[in-house]
Every structure is written in C-alpha cells, then in structure tokens.
Amino acid sequence: MNRINQKLEEDKKLLSIYFTAGYPNINDTVSVIENLEKSGVDMIEIGLPFSDPLADGPTIQSSSTKALHNGMTSERLFEQLKDVRKTVSIPLIIMGYFNPMLQYGVEEFCKKCQEVGIDGLIIPDLPVDVYNDNYKSIFEKYGLINVFLITPQTSEERIRFIDSISKGFIYMVSSASVTGSQSGFGAIQTNYFERIAEMKLKNPQIVGFGISNNETFTQATKHAKGAIIGSAFVKHLTTNGVDNIEDFVNTIL
Amino acid sequence: MKKTYNINEKGYYGEFGGAYIPEMLYPNVEELRQNYLKIMAEPSFQEEFNALLKDYVGRPSPLYFAKRLSEKYNTKIYLKREDLNHTGAHKINNTIGQILMAKRLGKNRIIAETGAGQHGVATATVCALMGIECIVYMGEIDIARQAPNVARMKMLGATVVPALSGSRTLKDATNEAIRDWINNPVDTHYIIGSVVGPHPYPDMVAKFQAVVSEEIKRQLLEKEGTEDPTYLVACVGGGSNAAGTYYHYLDNEAVNIIAVEAAGLGVDSGESAATSVLGKEGIIHGSKTLLMQTHDGQITEPYSISAGLDYPGVGPMHANLYKTGRAEFIAITDDDAMKAGLDLCKLEGIIPAIESSHALAVFEHKIFKPDDIVVLNLSGRGDKDLQNYIDYFKL
Ligand SMILES: Cc1ncc(COP(=O)(O)O)c(C=O)c1O
C-alpha cells in the first residue's frame, strides 16, 4: 500500500509541510526532510523549484529562485534523495510545475520518483483531463498518486469528477489566491470547509494555502483530514536555516 | 477531416496549445472558453466591434504600395499600415475585442501584462473608453526603459504595477497578471496581449486580429485583381500581428508565409529571442508551445533590442506553423532590423516600430521575384522607439 494511503488511515489530523528543495542551501534538502519527520510532521511536499511558479506567491517564488541559483535541478534532487528512504518513513510528495517534468521525460521522472521512494506528485499546471488522457497509466505504473486541487470556485460537478479519479487525498486550496497571501480564515472559508465536508467525498481532503499557525491549522482541520503549511515554513527556513525546525512544528501542533 | 492550420475543437494547433493551468484558474478560463465564440457571433457584438474599429481605431488601415522600397528590391511590396491605427499599433484590434468581451461577461476590472508598454497602452485606452478599472503589470526593468508608455498609461487612468519577481520583464509581468487573476476570480477579466496563454486566448486574440487579413484580401483584390499575395510577412513576438496577417490564408497554401523573429545579437550569441530556432517544446503561461528554456526546463530570458519581440515563447499557432513547415521562419539581428527601419524612413517617409523593422529586414535576407506580391504587416509606428533609434544611430 502506498505510504500516503497508509498515513490517511491513521486516526489523527495530519500536518503536511511544504519546502523548496535546495533551499536555503543546495544540500539542505535531506536534512530538512529528516528534521521535519523527527519533529512529528506526517507528510512532506518537496518543492521542485521552477522559474515561473504561477500558483505561488512571493515567498515560495523567491525561495525557488534562490534554489535554482543554488544549482537545483530535477537530476540533482533525485541524487539528493537517493538514500532518503534509509532514514525517512513518512510519505514524500514532489510538488512542482509540469515543464521541468516534461523536459526530464514524464516516464523517466516517474521512474526516478519510484526508485528514490516518492509516493505522490502535485503538479498544479497539469490539468485533470490531460493527466487522465495521457499520463495516468504512467503514474500508476510507478505507484505514484497524483494529487488534484480544488478551490472555493470549483463547481460541485467538477469536485465530484476530481473525487472520482483521485486515489489518495484532495488538495483543498483554502481561498482564491496564490500561496502565502492569506492571514486567517473568515466566514467564506468556514462555509467552504463545511460545504465540502457535507459532500462526503470518497477521498479525504487536506487544506492548503493560508495556514501558518496553530489557529489556522485547527480551523482548517475541523472538517478536513489535515492541512499543509508552505510559505510560513519557507519563511522559517529563510530566517533560521535548518536549525530549530522542531520549534516551528511545535508552534503548529 | 480536412487538414487545417487553424485551431481544432480541443484547443490545439497540431500538438500545440491547450490550457495547462492551475485549478485556481480553471473557472475563469472555462467561463471564457464556453462563451467567447457565442459572444463574438452575437450581431450586437459584431456591430459594436466593427463600429469601434472603424470610427475609433480608424480602420480599415491602408494597404499601401511601397513604390520606392519595391524598386530597391525589385519586387512588389505592400505595407499593411497597422502603424496608422489609434495608439500606433495592431494591439488595439485585440483590446477593443476583449473589452467588449469583458463587458458581456459582466466583468468590471481589467488586468493586463505589458513588455514595451504597447499592449498596456492599448488596454488602458479601451478601459478609459469604457470607464472600467485597469491594472497593468509591467516588469520593473521595462518600467525603467519604457518611461513614455508608462506615462501614457497613467494619463489614461491605469494603475501600473511593477513586477518585481524573476527577471522583472515581460514574462514576469505575465506571471503577476496571472496571479492577480487567481486572486480575483470573479470580477476580473485578463486581457492578454498576444496569441499566447491558455486556450481560448490564442484563438480569441487571433480572431480579433483576423480583421487584418480580411482587409488585405479585399484591398489586394482591388489593387492587384487577386486576393492572394505570393508572400505574407510579419514579425513574431507572441505572434498576434502575424496571426492576424495569416489568419484568412492559413489553409491556402498558394500563399507563402514568412515569420520573422528577433535574433538579438545573433541566434548563437546567447542574446537572442529567436524562439523557433532556440526553443524546445514545453509549457509557458498555460500553453504547450515552443519556448526558450534550459535543459532542465527552466524558462530563460530572451534578448532583443525590440521590447515587443522579447518573449521566451511563441503562440501555439506559430509553433505549429514552424513544426509543419507551413511558414518559413527567419531570424533578424538587432543591427539588420535597425538598418531596415532607417531605410524605410528614407525611402517611404515612414518611421516604423522596431518590431516591424525586423519584418522589413527580410528583403536583405531573401530574394523575391519581380512579379511576387509581398504583403508585410507594418505592425506599429516608431514614435515609442525614438530613444532607441536616437541611441543606436547617435542622432
Ligand atoms: C508594433 C509591434 N509589433 C509587434 C509586436 C509583437 O507582438 P505580436 O507578435 O503579438 O504581434 C509588438 C508588441 O509589443 C508591437 O508593439
């Protein structure tokens, strides 16, 4: 069974953390992952940096620019992750934009993911229908779960469709926004969280975008299975480097 | 099915196009996709669009037989005078169409990206015309090098927002506009400035620019007794003036198509914007097309003296024209473009935009026959480029 599915069966609210690979320093990738696991994080999204991350706000974009400047590439990331499964057992997901994967070769990319022990992918700019028509069989061949996004604007019909083709969890984008642009959830989010909960989807949902502290984590996971923190953690890395990751995680849980 | 170089029902030109967008953009783009053809076909839309093109833009633009230029190159050269349009370039054809589209979609806030500022000015202009709020994203570096257009946009009531991310030029301005649209999914329409971006943008913008080739057919018939030139020539940045020039001739292979890209300091110099030669298939701004990128799939920064040709991608229509061989692609350096621009001033009394000067330089690179009819889109006038011409020629 895929590690993501196993994790989703645990009877607890899940904390997933996003960070940009190769940031702040090129060789920090694995030590960030190890420290996150040690600190009690349930799942990790490893950001493969891209020059033009359309769905991201300034924090993640500038960490991506820095990581690329540090020399991060797809190849380099796979090298860094070569032995990660000797020390890390929580689910690992690569989050990245489609073009670098396309250039690497989608099948080759998926194969490498399987070799190093990646469990799933989040590719914001790979549309659901293109995935379904062209890439689904490749992802499945290498045991990878593709995670789809929904937003407050996604129609009920489309949510049902996305639920029907999802195999792990649904990434619930908390608001109409890029990453890192929210502070706190209001009535609109609460209504949206409730609306989705009432749909009784087959796949559990994990909320992302706008979660930065214990309060927003608690709000987001009232109905959902878990929450993802990105920009707030990247900011922590910017200030502290790989030190004190546990302190950051403790402020959330 | 009949072979076509136009778009198919799935939003692709051959293998290029589509809508590679994050889910956050899906409702906006889908709303547009479902409505754009319907809206464009409405008689009231057509009427309003055509009336504005006529009385506000000044269409039809003349198809001018360039006698002295023709004598110099011993062929028949016609210039499609998009430079005479209001705001000085072809860009306004698209922004007129899109502002009417936005109104019918019930949007009350407009965003746009701009490089040189031409599309920004054309967007600010139509927003002023309609009394709609306008926000233009522009790379911080471009703001510094295109001060007159920034001032124009401000005078027209637009807010110019500097794009501070990445390389702080056109591609980053486009990213920022897309992010704005993600953050404002309900009330905002994004007016893209060329035949780029996710489907349906390339098709919609091409259809608004198609008025250019519609007029060429009529005007050429009047002047030469045939609708069909031997060659069509246009410069390609994103490809909108070219798409307009080719549109009604795409599937008429008796008409040869030439697309002119900016070679910058030379195709192999590392300072170039010749996307077809240097680019590889990939995804930029939601479209599968040819783009300049690293081996690892990171989008790279192009260079051209012409800010309007300085885009690392190219519209999917043109990627397909390149791939299929339907169009001949020629890359023109800064130097050759500047010379051709000055030449036109001296021979015909027309100061062209530097983008259009690239197209004009084909006559030094390709020999045409005396009875060839060459129609070239003079996409814009050179007023905006005066400082560049001054610096280059030490005027
Ligand atoms: C006069 C002129 N010509 C051409 C272009 C290039 O754009 P496109 O390839 O979309 O026609 C521009 C863009 O700013 C322009 O201002």
Residue B30 lies in a domain: yes
What is the CA(A128)–ligand 1 centre distance, in A? Answer: 33
Residue A33 lies in a domain: yes
B256 and B156: one domain? no
The pLDDT of residue A1 is 82
**A106 has a chain B CB within 8 A of its CB:** no
- Enclosing domain of residue A126: 14-248
Residue B183 lies in a domain: yes
Distance CA B373, CA B385 (A): 29
- CATH number of the domain residue B185 falls in: 3.40.50.1100
Looking at the predicted structure, is the pLDDT value of residue B1 above 60?
no
Atom of ligand 1 nearest to the CA of B243: 11
* CA distance, residue A236 to nearest chain B CA (Å): 20
CB < 8 Å to B281, chain A: 102
Q: How many CA atoms lie within 13 A of A164 on its CB side?
A: 8
- Closest residue in chain B to residue A124, using alpha carbons only: B22
Candidates A61, A123, A153: best to mutate against B (most CBs of B within 10 A) is: A153
- Closest residue in chain B to residue A152, using alpha carbons only: B24
Looking at the predicted structure, is the pLDDT value of residue B192 above 70?
yes
List, in sequence order, every residue forming a beta bridge with A246; answer none if it has no partner.
Answer: none
Nearby residues of A1 by Cβ (< 8 Å), 6 or more positions away: none
Residue B244 lies in a domain: yes
Residue A30 lies in a domain: yes
B245 and B343: one domain? yes
Cβ–Cβ below 8 Å for B283 and A98: yes
For residue B341, which of B310, B308, B306, B369 has the smallest C-alpha distance?
Answer: B306
Domains: count for chain A: 1
CB < 8 Å to B19, chain A: 127
Interface size A-B, in CB pairs within 8 Å, comes to: 117
Exposed (0-12), middle (13-18) or buried (19+): which is B240, by Cβ within 10 Å?
Answer: buried
pLDDT tens, position by position, for chain A (253 residues)? 899 999 999 999 999 999 999 999 999 999 999 999 999 999 999 999 999 999 999 999 999 999 999 999 999 999 999 999 999 999 999 999 999 999 999 999 999 999 999 999 999 999 999 999 999 999 999 999 999 999 999 999 999 999 999 999 999 999 888 877 767 888 889 999 999 999 999 999 999 999 999 999 999 999 999 999 999 999 999 999 998 999 999 999 8
Which residue among the candidates A45, A119, A129, A140 is catalytic per the annotation?
A45
B229 and B128: one domain? no
Catalytic residue flag (residue B357): no
Distance CA B301, CA B292 (A): 8
DSSP B19: -
Catalytic residue flag (residue A56): yes
Residue B384 lies in a domain: yes
The pLDDT of residue B144 is 87
Residue B4 lies in a domain: no
Sheet of B12-13, strands arranged across:
B12-13, B16-17, B287-291, B280-284
User: Could you write out the DSSP letters of every residue in A84-128?
Assistant: HHHH--S-EEEE--HHHHHHH-HHHHHHHHHHHT--EEE-TTS-H
B326 and B232: one domain? yes
> In this structure, are strands B76-81 and B373-378 parallel, antiparallel, or unpaired?
parallel
- Enclosing domain of residue B293: 58-89+210-393
Neighbour count for residue B144 (Cβ, 10 Å): 12
Asked if A249 and A40 touch (Cβ cutoff 8 Å), the reply is yes
Query: Is ipTM over 0.90?
Result: yes
- The model carries a pTM of 0.97
**B299 has a chain A CB within 8 A of its CB:** yes
Asked if B184 and B104 touch (Cβ cutoff 8 Å), the reply is no
Specify the residue with its C-alpha closest to ligand 1, atom 10.
B240
Task: Dihedral sign for Cα B73, B78, B80, B83, please.
Answer: positive
Residue A15, SS3 per DSSP: strand
Domains: count for chain B: 2
DSSP B62: P
- CATH number of the domain residue A102 falls in: 3.20.20.70
Kindly report whether the peptide bond that precedes residue A124 is cis, defined as omega within 30 degrees of 0: no
Looking at the predicted structure, is the pLDDT value of residue B285 above 70?
yes
Q: What confidence tier does B84 reach under pLDDT thresholds 50, 70, 90?
A: very high
Distance CA B388, CA A40 (A): 59
